[in-house]
Every structure is written in structure tokens, then in C-alpha cells.
Structure 1
Amino acid sequence: MASSKPTLVLIHGAWHVPRSYSKLTNALKHAGYEVHVPRLPSMNEARPPNTDLSTDTDLIHSYVESLVDTGRTVVAIMHSYGGQVGTHGLSGLGLASRSERGLPGGVSKLIYMCAFAMPEGSSMVGKVKKFGHEHLLPIAFDFAGDDSCLTRDPKTLLVGEGVEAAEVDAYVSSLVRWNGKCMYQEVEKCAWREIPVAYIYTTADMTVPLDYQKDMVQKIEAEGQSVKTVELTTGHCPNLTMTKEVVDAINDWVHGQA
């Protein structure tokens, strides 16, 4: 008998690849979910970069569309930059909007995990500029001449505290070079206008600070969309450092208990 639980699609963050999320995906599979983590093209490590936000959003749209066309209900979990990709790429795939068009399946919920959740015309760097932090970009990120980049201190800026050193080392070893131009590219569509939203705040985040996260949620709510939230006292990778709490939040939201 098929599971009554929705299919989960995890849209990963910058520098990450699917195996970076093995701890979370294994826990979600153990909880009975079908989990997909497609690799975003902007993490293909090409030098110079030959893919960007538009390539990523096209991939996610077609990938999720192929799932919902089979009648699946999908919950999207977006991490960091993955919020930009999902916000743009999942537009038009909402459960309600597809039902109105006589189409099966659809995306029932957007779960942003310390992710960028912004309206049309917004970029990641635009948010950084709003808070007056543009001068920190070259300090936090190592940009090469071709605009590909790495985070300068992933153990501190991305992971933070909460797990053993060996686990952090293994996680950091999975990270790859990313096309930094994606930071400057704007989303053109906005899935959260049509799909219910939840947000996982990370209070000790040094990559997407809590102030950024709160500001984004406030903007969504100002547009008339309600947002269910949970706060985790951890850094930018709760998928690694607070895995159980992330799974608990997903379970609560999937089953309508929070």
C-alpha cells in the first residue's frame, strides 16, 4: 500500500550537494517519507561557471512537475540559497492551483529552512545590502576571478556548534564551489503567494542572520500569507546540527499539528 505521507523534495543550499544532507534524508526516510534531493546545476563545479539561478529553477520546476504529474503531493524543504530556487521554480505547481486547472497532485507546503524567501525582483545580495552588510561579502566568501566562490570558514559560518568535530569535517568535505553570480540574480516568480508556508528560524546563524530571516517572514505576512514558524538554537545547517528537531517540525507541519 502506498504511503499517505507526501513526497519530500529537498532543494539544497549553495556549496552543498545531495550527500551533504545524508543525515537529514536518512532520518526522513526512517520516518516513512519518500525523499528526493536533486543536485542543482550551479553546483556542477564548471570553471568558469556555466549555470546559474535560472538553470537551477528550470531543473527544479521540471523535476517537481514530473512528480506531481503522477498525482503525488509534494512538500518542498528549501535550505539557504535553495529558497531562491524554490520560490521561483515552484511557482504554478501549488496543489490548489493545479486542482483548479484539473491537474493531479501538486506542492502542498513550502518549508524554508533558514532560507531566502523573498518576493519577485529580490536577490540575496539585495537583502545583504538592505542590512548594510555588503562589505562583509568578500570577508565571508572567497570569490575567484570567474565569480565562482567558496565560503571562507564553513566550520564557523555554516555549521557552528552542535556536533562532533569528525562529523563537521565529513560535512565540510562534501561542499563544492558554487557560481557566486547567483547571489546577485533576482527571482522572477513567487511560489509562496499560492502555496502555504512554514519557516525554520536558526537563531545562531552566521550566514543568513536571524534578522534577515525575520525580515523575510514579516514581508510574506505583510502580503497576506500566514507563516508557521519554529526557532532552533543553532547555526546555518540545522539539517546536521539539529536533525531530530528539523524532522519533528516537518512532521508537525505535514500532519497539521503546528
Structure 2
Amino acid sequence: MSPTHTQPARRSRRAVFALAGAAVLTAAAVPTLANGASGEGRPPVSADGAASHSAAKPTVLLVHGAWADSSSWSPVIDRLQAQGYPVQALANPLRGLASDAAYVKSSIESIDGPVVLVGHSYGGAVISEAATQEPNVKALVYVAAFAPAKGETVGALAAKDPGSHATPDALNPVPFDAGNGASGVDVYIKPDKYRDVFAGSLSAREASNLAAVQRPINAAALEETVTDTAWQNIPSWYLVTRQDHALPPATQRFMAKRAQAHITEANAPHAVMLTRPDTVTSLILHAATATR
């Protein structure tokens, strides 16, 4: 690396280890909805037992976090499309919180009609910023996700509670050259640690495949301060993953309660959209139907 790259890379490398424990990114799932309803994969029903179809279905916009990609939503996409919902799964750039949020915001503004915005892991911080001043966003759904308040960073929240297995020995920081004299550090999960940190109940072979295609996050994104908090004005839903080795369940519950979200809990690892897609789909459908 040239001398012009050394200091930014060192700062980012220090950030990786200072924020170790972050997830930016089993037993059967047992969802417990805040309003007492249940029924995976099905929308809430009216008093006469019929599903509500009184308005056009919103577009579901899915935003992945670190160490995954948009294909991680595939099982959920299948189920939502089977229910007749238009779906888009974005490729989150994972370069910086402000720029990632701006990218998602542009996608929101390209959609005619209502939107249900869903974020996994670091994607939750992105949707919290992106949805502000976007009146067509009717609901926010956080899936084992960061829901930061104004002035917070993802890194600070990641370090709030113990329990993450995303420790320095599980992470692989890789310096990159961004051109024009800029540089940074991309953070990966080491392949042999991926299953434990991210996808505990998947097979070793499935976890190995996911580790091979994981999208890294720029460590600098973990240090960016949140400037907007959409959950203060938009109804939100939150899925807490009790067997999460990336983002501790205690931190998830803290953020969900603070946002006054409708909370569901499941016995699942961080990659719940792959291990428990029915649970994730059910929560999205509740958000979609409750805000129509």
C-alpha cells in the first residue's frame, strides 16, 4: 500500500477491532407478536375470517446487511410473491451509511405507491435514514437489525451488550484502494467462522457457500453518525433472533422497545431470512396489512 493509503487504512483497521462483536451485519421458530396474533406466512384476517384486500398491495423493498447479498432474501421473496406482493431486493453498497441510505432513498422514490421497507442487520440502520421524509413508506420492518437513534453509530450499538461471536479472530480485515488516493478496509467473516457467527442452523455446506459469496462492509460505515431516525414517525415491526451470535438479542430488544415496534421473537440465528423464512414473511405481511 502506498504512503497515502496508510493512515486511512490504519484508522479503519482500528475501527474493526474497536467494534469487534458487531454484526453488520436450531429449534423451530416460535413467534410472539406484540398484539397476540400468530400464523406464519399469512396476513391478518378480518372478523369474518377473510384476508384483507381492501387496497392495493404495497411494494416490499428488501435491504440486506453486511456479509450477505440480495439473494439472501430469496426464500422470503418466493413467499411474498406467492401472496401477490411486488418485491424488490436491493444490492446494498455497504460503502458508508450516508451513501448507502441515499442509494436506497433513490429506489424508494422510483416506486409508485406505498412501500414496506425491510432491513436486515446493518440494513436496518440504512432504512432508518433512507425512509425519512418519504411519505410512501408506510412501514419499517427490522429483521435482526440495527435501529439506531439520531447521533448513534452502528459500532457503538454493536458494542452495547456482550454475546457476539464476531470477535477479532473471526473477522478478516482487507485493505482496499478506492482510487483518487482514497483507501479503506473491508471487513469479512473468516470462512471457518461464518457458520457460527452468521448462520448457525444451516448445514456446513450451505454456510460455506454463503461465506464464499458474502459482501464485505467498509469498516468506516460503522463509525458514521446517524442523522435521521425514521422509526420515530413510521410504524415499525421487529424480529428478535434469540440464537443470534452476531447482534446480541439483548441489544435487539433494547432497540425494538425504544422504537415502540411490534415485536416478534424466534429461535433463530442471525441469517433468519434463510433459516426461518416463514417467520420473516409473516412479520412483513402483518406490517403490510396493518398499514394498508
Taking structure 1 as the reference length, what is the TM-score of the superposition?
0.81
TM superposition shift of 1:58: 0.7
1:150-192 per-position Cα deviation (integer Å, ceiling 9, x unaligned): 013221111111x444443433333122212111212111111
Within the candidate set 121, 132, 137, 1:91 is matched to: 132
Within the candidate set 151, 174, 196, 1:156 is matched to: 196
- Give, in whole Å, the separation in 1 of the partners of 2:189 and 2:278: 26
Instruction: Trace 1:161-200 onto structure 2 (pairs within 5 A).
Output: 161=201, 163-200=202-239
| Local SS of the residue matching 1:204 | coil
| Local SS of the residue matching 1:122 | coil
Is the Cα–Cα contact under 8 Å of residues 20 and 174 in structure 1 kept in the other structure? no
TM superposition shift of 1:144: 2.4
Pairwise CA RMSD = 2.2
Instruction: Trace 1:92-241 onto structure 2 (pairs within 5 A).
Output: 92-94=133-135, 106-131=136-161, 137-145=167-175, 146-152=184-190, 153-161=193-201, 163-220=202-259, 226-241=260-275
TM superposition shift of 1:254: 2.1
Taking structure 2 as the reference length, what is the TM-score of the superposition?
0.72
The equivalent residue for 1:58 is 102
- Give, in whole Å, the separation in 2 of the partners of 1:89 and 1:171: 27
| Local SS of the residue matching 1:192 | helix
Give the partner amino acid of 1:215. Answer: F
TM superposition shift of 1:26: 1.9
TM superposition shift of 1:142: 1.7
Structure number with the higher helix fraction is 1
The 4+ residue runs of structure 1 with deviation greater than 4 A are 132-137
TM superposition shift of 1:82: 0.2
Is the Cα–Cα contact under 8 Å of residues 165 and 196 in structure 2 kept in the other structure? no
Gaps in structure 2 of 5+ consecutive residues: 1-54, 176-183
The equivalent residue for 1:98 is none
Corresponding position: 1:80 with 2:80: no
The equivalent residue for 1:223 is none
The equivalent residue for 2:89 is 37
Corresponding position: 1:6 with 2:58: yes
- Give, in whole Å, the separation in 1 of the partners of 2:185 and 2:289: 42
The equivalent residue for 1:242 is 276
- Give, in whole Å, the separation in 1 of the partners of 2:124 and 2:205: 28
Give the partner amino acid of 2:271. Answer: C
TM superposition shift of 1:123: 0.9
**187-196 or 244-253, which moves further after superposition?**
244-253
Gaps in structure 1 of 5+ consecutive residues: 43-50, 95-105, 221-225
Matched residues, percent identical?
26
Which protein, 1 or 2, shows the higher relative CO under an 8 Å CA cutoff with sep ≥ 6?
A: 2
Bigger Rg, structure 1 or 2: 2
